[in-house]
Amino acid sequence: MIAVIQRVSEASVQINNEIKGSISQGLMILLGIEDADNQEDIDWLSKKVANLRIFDDEEGVMNKSVIDVDGNVLLISQFTLHASTKKGNRPSYLKAAKPDIAIPLYEKFIQTLEKDVSKEINTGEFGADMKVSLVNDGPVTIIIDTKNKQ
């Protein structure tokens, strides 16, 4: 799994000109799933996201997690995170999991992250054409690949 995590002051996702999910302060996460991903990746990444200290404390030091600031999470599936651009100019998405594998893993990740942050997660819709808007606070953007845990 690859996650692009952005600290935001607000974020939203629209599908067919209707807002599907929106948050105020918190994390906007783009999540890419590959065939090799499993429950271990879900558990590890969810804990990492929930406890990632990228929010400012009282002294302006990034020392608080989304849990500590009672922040929200907007999670968007994005298979293009697994694009390969090694050959030619058209990206290949062979590494990205097909929906029959990706959707159950995506849904399990949502459930696991909801438990880890103790609140409901806002989401887009898997496979939909989505319009994502956000105000990146900082800017702070972190990329985590569960295949690079060590």
pTM (2 d.p.): 0.94
Other CB atoms within 10 A of residue 56 CB: 16
Torsion-angle region of residue 22: left (phi > 0), alpha (psi -120 to 50) or beta? beta
- The single residue of 39, 80, 111, 141 carrying the catalytic annotation is 80
What tokens appear for 28 in the block?
Answer: 């906007």
CATH fold of the domain at 2-148? D-tyrosyl-trna(Tyr) Deacylase; Chain: A; (3.50.80)
Cα R_g (the chain), whole angstroms = 15
Residue 149 is predicted with a pLDDT of 81
Distance separating alpha carbons of residues 72 and 120, to the nearest angstrom: 8
Residue 94 is predicted with a pLDDT of 87
Please say if 80 is a catalytic residue.
yes
**Strand, coil or helix: 109:** helix
Place of tokens 């609140």: 119
Pairing of β 122-123 and β 72-77: parallel
- The single residue of 6, 55, 79, 109 carrying the catalytic annotation is 79
Distance separating alpha carbons of residues 63 and 43, to the nearest angstrom: 22
Q: What is the dihedral of CA 55, 6, 118, 124, to 10 degrees?
A: 160
Q: What does each of the 150 residues of the chain score in pLDDT, given as a tens digit?
A: 999 999 999 999 999 999 999 999 999 999 999 999 999 999 999 999 999 999 999 999 999 999 999 999 999 999 999 988 998 899 989 889 999 999 999 999 999 999 999 999 999 999 999 999 999 999 999 999 999 987
Residues 6+ apart with CB under 8 A from 119: 72, 73
- The single residue of 6, 14, 55, 78 carrying the catalytic annotation is 78
For the chain, the residue count is: 150
Residue 26 is predicted with a pLDDT of 98
